[in-house]
Structure 1
């Protein structure tokens, strides 16, 4: 790790996909850090990110780009060995953004942990509970460093304001219930979770983890984790029960239009010009034909943008069509080959997907009464009974534009991705502003529900234009960098900086991931999971084993 200085921290991006580019851009635009190197096996993607954010108009040097994360690990071991021997070496990196595919997170973080770098790991932490906890154990084996996870919903201006109004200002009193919806978007779901990498729980993980783990984290952040300025002794209000229901309702063979016949690929399908899920219509007509080559087109073929710029629309279209035409035969193509990659031209009704396209999760909390004997003061959130309902649905016009209702003892809040509307039941505004002074009247008003209006206030938090997740990408990046600067500048200890800037520890991450795994167990078993019992059976043994041996493996 580079020695603490007053210079900007140097960051490594591992994975030059959409997420890696988002964090690289946010790092540069924040002015708080320097993107020093990139790791990416696809040369075009690696050079594209590097040219934008690392070496710019210069030629890359060997320490600025790596084909594989293992290559960087070997390089860093040698660099430190040479440095210890007094040899001149390039400067190291202070922090890392881990943006590889989900199942590699555990391996990359474990390999980086001995270097003492600050780490931001994209969500989810891992694809199973054991690996999540093992990651925590591994990090605890070495001197503590700043650790962040890509739960970007915590860091958008919108959600920070919502939590402030809810838990600090208490604008609707004690929270009783939340209904939170993630509308994934009809074609977006088909891209990522029917044709894409996250389509099958056996090769990736359930959609509740890969797509919505930060929605579950959002709910626990609102209802479980103590609010800002709580006493250091404040404990989280953990759930009492979790249940879930969901399935694949649309994207299955029984729903395939008869007109499509035996076609398994959109490019050879007789209804490719009319089917709403036609890959040609989605990737070409919706995007490339309009000159748009970023996500999702770049996911299908990362070189389309370059081809469009250098060879023109016709060649770009042909390259896209060639990628979409790639298909497999379930009788002759090895299963390993089918599972090893996305198939973006595959018929959505003939794919090997099994993740839910419609799922609900219900989380309940019991009352936790205060104890006069222990002189316990109630937390601002109340520790009262409450319920959270989460709904992930694929078939929506809105795309990841989350929305919800929060019901409290003195009012209610409606929020979408732009506004926060607070209805205050304690303040009424009479329509005619003339009070009824006839206290002896026994005649009720003709419309008692219209006699008064509830006081309503609408908040419109500023949403950054270039940042995804309502500014959450930029917010997380900035807070991660500020924490690094505070720690490496000797202004704060790691734990203090973790709380001050990130407001989230790895223990919080483990809890929200555990809630996802508990919900999946409830869905598959068609049962209600008792949180304390489930935690004692599934999590505590792993934690205790790791504490005893230093690792859970």
Structure 2
């Protein structure tokens, strides 16, 4: 069977490495036939790796979709603020769609896409890839099998990691609300989606607290320059100094985000002139670095979620409280433990060590997308219709946070935005 032919809009980390990388590793499944990105170096890299002629490489998504080549699908991996336009155009062209999360960064746009997608019959998936990890798949399987009885509550912790928070949400593309979207949406709509899936019911109410606590000018140590390489006297003791993150032997993520020239000279130049060389206390960031959300679902299940940038590493931990037992798990370690109340047995399941992006979720997600496009059927675990609920949960959580933790009814919020 022939590989599906795709157009990738956005040649950054997700478009250039996750999606184009999948096609490179799985040539019988997917073929990148066209690409669009305003950054010529990123665009050229995908062109060269996938043999794309100049006539099918574009500086804008608009140009790429004026008269697209024969395509099976379009992959939208542009910045959050740029999703609405290509989504509308792709639906008008009746193309199968894979869209990075979040779907769109504003409540009004979300309502419009939901309306436009109501009668759309092609495959339309959102990259909520956690549902495709072996870890959360196993947690869901055990939960549905009644291993801990009736579900009562969930605690989910997203440890963003001190490096990830500094790279993506202080120095990087998701640092500023005006340029991207709220942290709870940009980063944690994954987790809202997961809680909705595990609770197996719609969210009834939400309350949230959070703030930008640390990464701001008032916390800069005395004498810290605006750029790390301008002779910062705190280099040795600062975990965020760029030399410790980008000038090491690692040329994968996050280093490969700051420049396409990964030589030491190229990286130093990028840090001397680009956004990733700035002191974390002297950036234009305004998104939160720590946030908690409390939720109640229509079936009575309650959930607590914590997102924090103040963690040693990037990982997710979950605890599920049931009437017959307790289940805990660590996604990155690939372990799930069930503690049975009656027998007092403790069972730990060691899953295969996850490989690849998002603990293996990326590959499984993309394979499912390819198969549905080929078969012309199926909705997958992350259809756009299923994904709207997580987005409304995130929008409501942000609204609650901004109002000092006010409890919001999801039903009312969807109608009024209040």
TM range (shorter): over 0.9
More strand by share: 2
Q: By how many angstroms is 1:294 displaced? A: 2.5
Aligned equivalent of 1:528, options 403, 407, 410: 407
Q: By how many angstroms is 1:35 displaced? A: 2.2
Q: Does 1:35 align with 2:32?
A: yes
Aligned equivalent of 2:294, options 340, 347, 362: 362
Match of 1:152 in 2: 129
Aligned equivalent of 2:362, options 473, 488, 491: 473
Match of 1:243 in 2: 207
Q: By how many angstroms is 1:65 displaced? A: 2.4
Match of 1:212 in 2: 188
- SS for the counterpart of 2:178 is coil
- SS for the counterpart of 1:97 is strand
Match of 2:113 in 1: 135
CA separation in 2, counterparts of 1:353 and 1:283? 20
RMSD: 1.9
CA separation in 1, counterparts of 2:285 and 2:183? 11
TM-score, normalisation: structure 1: 0.71
- Per-residue Cα deviation, 1:342-400 (whole angstroms, up to 9, x for no partner): 7111111122211111100010135xxxxxxxxxxxxxxxx3x221111000011111x
Match of 2:148 in 1: 172
Match of 1:124 in 2: 102
Aligned residues: 412
Q: Does 1:265 align with 2:179?
A: no
CA separation in 2, counterparts of 1:201 and 1:67? 25
- SS for the counterpart of 2:387 is helix
- Per-residue Cα deviation, 1:81-129 (whole angstroms, up to 9, x for no partner): xxxxxxxxxx601011110101001111112222111000000001101
Q: By how many angstroms is 1:252 displaced? A: 1.6
Q: Are the equivalent residues in 2 in contact too, given 1:272–1:280 (CA < 8 A)?
A: no
CA separation in 2, counterparts of 1:221 and 1:528? 22
- Per-residue Cα deviation, 1:163-201 (whole angstroms, up to 9, x for no partner): 11112x110011111110111111211111111111111
Match of 1:434 in 2: none
Match of 1:303 in 2: 261
Q: Are the equivalent residues in 1 in contact too, given 2:295–2:303 (CA < 8 A)?
A: yes
Structure 1 residue runs without a partner (length 5+): 1-5, 77-90, 225-236, 309-315, 327-341, 367-382, 428-453, 540-553
Q: Are the equivalent residues in 2 in contact too, given 1:110–1:139 (CA < 8 A)?
A: no
CA separation in 2, counterparts of 1:222 and 1:479? 20
CA distance 1:12–1:132, shift in 2 (3 Å): same
TM-score, normalisation: structure 2: 0.93
Match of 1:13 in 2: 8
Structure 2 residue runs without a partner (length 5+): none
- SS for the counterpart of 2:155 is strand
Match of 1:420 in 2: 336
CA distance 1:324–1:133, shift in 2 (3 Å): same
Match of 1:22 in 2: 18
